Structure 1
Amino acid sequence: MGLSVKDVVQLPIFETAKVKTGKNMLNETFVERITVIELPVENFVKKNEMVLSTGIGCEDDPILLKQFVKDVIDSGASVLAFSIGRYIHRIPEQVIQLAKYHDFIIVEIPWETRFGDILEIVLHKINEEKKGERQQGEVVRQELINCVLHGKGLQDIANAIYKYCQIPVAITDHSRIIRASCHFDHKILKIFYGDGRGQMQQIPQTHILFNEHPLYHYIEEYRIEGQMYLYLSILNNEKKQGSLFFQLKDRGQLTTFVMTVFDHALTACALYFVKENAVEMTEIRLKENFILSLAKNNTEVNDRLISKAQLLGYDLRRPYICILGEAQEKKDDISSMPSLQSMNYYVQKEITSAGKLLHRRTMTTFEEGEFIIFLEADHHPYMETANQFLDIIERRLYDLLSGVVLSWGIATHKDGQYVFHESYQEAKTALDIGKKQKGLGERTFFSDTKINRLLMAISNEDEIANIVKDTLQPLIEYDRKRQTDLLYTFMIYNKYKGNVSQTARALNLHRQSLLHRLRNIESLTQLSLVNSDDLFLLELSVRLWMLKKI
């Protein structure tokens, strides 16, 4: 799956173009991006990139042009398209022979064809293809996860992998027992595990990291009996559950879509082994229930609790930042919300990976779409530590869970005997305030919510509530009956500190229309927008009303 060079050169804009070399590679070579480049190439060209060039600077120097083409070939580009007619009138024979030797595709484009038009059309085609890949990837993810959730087995997972990738696959457990395979030679596994005779060579990872997909960092490549095999460990809670093996004809099969299937396959296999291992599942439930109780109950951290935590692998004597997350479905996203079980697994996987990457302990639990994370703190500012941790998590989660938006509330470590419950309560407050004031998908730190907490505290006073109601009720009723937005108008007016011109631009209103609205606000509230006391009362009332409204 992917946009092949053949798909590109068949676009109408290439109707007058000529494929000079590599015609036999048009179907097998893929384009993921496009760029315009002249001398020098250096590191400006990436793998699977279509390169457009006029050859400027090489017009009178065939040797320099040949070196330019060689540099493009070495970069891993898919195709090189020369604009013929101004600087290069004919591609030299020695360049043609070089491209043929490397099975590299060179295309001639008439000078009249604008690069800007080519970029626009090809980028649109690439984006369409990637959109299709993302949608197909979601279908694959759901099918693989359903193999686990609906009681199917590892063989169903292997069959699904082969169906979408056409790559032989085998799945083994932690005991090296083959649990499932599809078109895979079992003798190879005996050689790999040292139980059979044959030649095996591991390829250094630096030689295979030629794609930006994050899964490449976990791939091991082997040459066994002259064939290419990929090895991936199936992990859960940092424990190896089994292995995935793939037999490849060449690295060209490793498209972004195929790597996405491999990634989802790892998740599905890990979920299967978790489900299969009842003892481990019990341990996980004990851990999650322990953290949930620690956060939500006013539990004293004493020697007995510390000892119980140690049995579960936790150290409560260390300081922890509390991070509370909530997942909600994007309103404008057509993809479905993943099940809580699969979503919790994805989040747990990324939390564990992020903690390991930052060398920090984590304690995590989940409850109805709410993620409670205690992240080990140190001498660094807690905001810096939390942001670094969440950046790592979100980078992967928003790719894996495209239909989900995550909101976070963060609180620093507390002192005393009830530290975990108190920091959880503060993180909960920060999350609630953040959703009300900023909306979904934001990070809110408890230390940044002082003014909102002050407003929430005074809003509970009956007298203050009556003042707010008396002040704003005329505006609220007017907006409701007339379908206007005087309250919002005031909020924007106040945001721009009474600057009429800036407010009018922000509201897309004529200046006179805005002034009419402001006179209405003064008339309805009997307050003057130029009187500092009246303005303060109106601003305070609006902020208290907004805080209570949501």
Structure 2
Amino acid sequence: MFMKDLLNLPVFSGAVVAGGREGLDHEVNTVNMMDAPDIISYLKPNELLVTTAFHLKDNPSSLIDLLEKMHKQGCAGLGIKTKRFLNTIPPQAVDLANRYNIPIIDIPNETSLGDIVHQSLSCILDTRTTELHQAMKAHQQFTQLSIKGKGLDKILQSLSGLIGSPMTLLNHQLRPFISTGSLEDPVYSLFAGIGAFLPKISFTSFSLHDNGTQKTFTLFPISTHKKQPSYLAVHRFIPQTDRSAVLTIEQAANVIAFELMKENALKQKTQRLRNEFFTNFMNNAFSSSEEILNRAKEFSLSNENRFFCAAGRIDQPDKSFSLAEHQWESELIYDTIEEEIQRAEEKMQLFVSEDKFIILMETKENWQDNEYSFLSFLKAIQSAVETMLQKTISFGINTYAEQLVRLPESYKEAVNALSYGAMLGKNEFIESYQPKEVSEILRMIPYEQMEQFYQNTFQGLVNEPKKDYDLLMQTLSVYLESHCQLSETAKRLFIHRNTVIYRLEKCEELLGRSLKDPEQTLCLRLAFRIKVLLENR
């Protein structure tokens, strides 16, 4: 309750403000009566002190000392029955009261100090009771919304209506994720830079300037299981003296904290299922491609798209960290990557495997069309992790997997690239996988193009009877694998050398290719390699 409101009570009828008028906006939490000077050491902040000044009558200058100590203690004001013993208030005391903004109230002689204490405390308690009743009512309202599963949106809308101001919920990085207004306000971009300057108090207010416009916010911390709090931003100034608004917001903050922890528990369960699927998938634990595709649908993974894979890991992890600290760091990195994924235009997936963060990007295009955007995305993650944790993260990437079922191979390539970069002693790198085998290079070609090349190469044999087709294909394959040596081919097939010659001449006739031409034999070798990839598709 403010001093100016307290003076409107009937018991203060006839009282006059003799000095310190600028302090009438002080909050009064309690009222005390002084009959002896030893009470000075027991003064409390926001306390109104009333006295007859009996102990000051022989030494009026001691009133100066009293005002000095009241100022140090943050007292609300001083009420004196001036006409009882002092007759007048010393001018020096009035000047000091004006300087310190400590109201001096000249109380009429006929007014009982006991009545002042009693009625003032009763009024203060009634006000507190009303505030607590409103806070409990608000808490019940927010709790009911939570129990009914209305979610954070409805809780913020309800709070916004009670406070009369827009609300925004900020995560631990001071990035907005729910608001009763627009989330596209440019002023939100300024929030990220003030995290280190927020004081460790119950709430704080500040103003931000954006293009000549000043906007004031009051931030209330929301403590959850995370090491760093989230924040509830009220789009106006909330003074500490507005106890009704502060209590209402604090009740909402408690319910929001519970709602955030509930959502996090559901999120962790989903994350655990995703990680289990990914681990089983990468370890070839599924019995068939059909099972892989059915399980992948649960996580919105389509077999019709191509996949770029990146494996990331923190450089030089702190070995002195406890298990809980490692868990906290991992969660913070996961949240940071997830936020970057939400801002990305491309469809992304995030998994965790041991100490690695696996990022998949789905696309229908080839690597060249997506290389720049994917690398830019990974660099943005590196920058965000360094800002949040003052640590670096490195990535290994593959080219792409033509289909979902080829992801285990892409994952191994990305991990190999990550290990190779680390082996070179590099930090905060993005290392691309370099193919080492012909089959790895062929997998970089779209399946449609490989199938077309295969069909064009062996088109002449397609119309042959199946028995003849199989014999000719077998003979041609063994001949090429035997470095075009007739005797070795006959030996491997357990047939006469002349039979091999006959079959190869038949192949040349049907295919229209000379087996003595190195370029033609290279095409045939590649076609046989592609045949294996297509059969294992």
TM-score above 0.5, yes or no = no
Structure (1 or 2) with the larger CA radius of gyration: 2
Q: TM-score range by the shorter chain?
A: 0.3 to 0.5
TM-score normalised by L of structure 2: 0.42
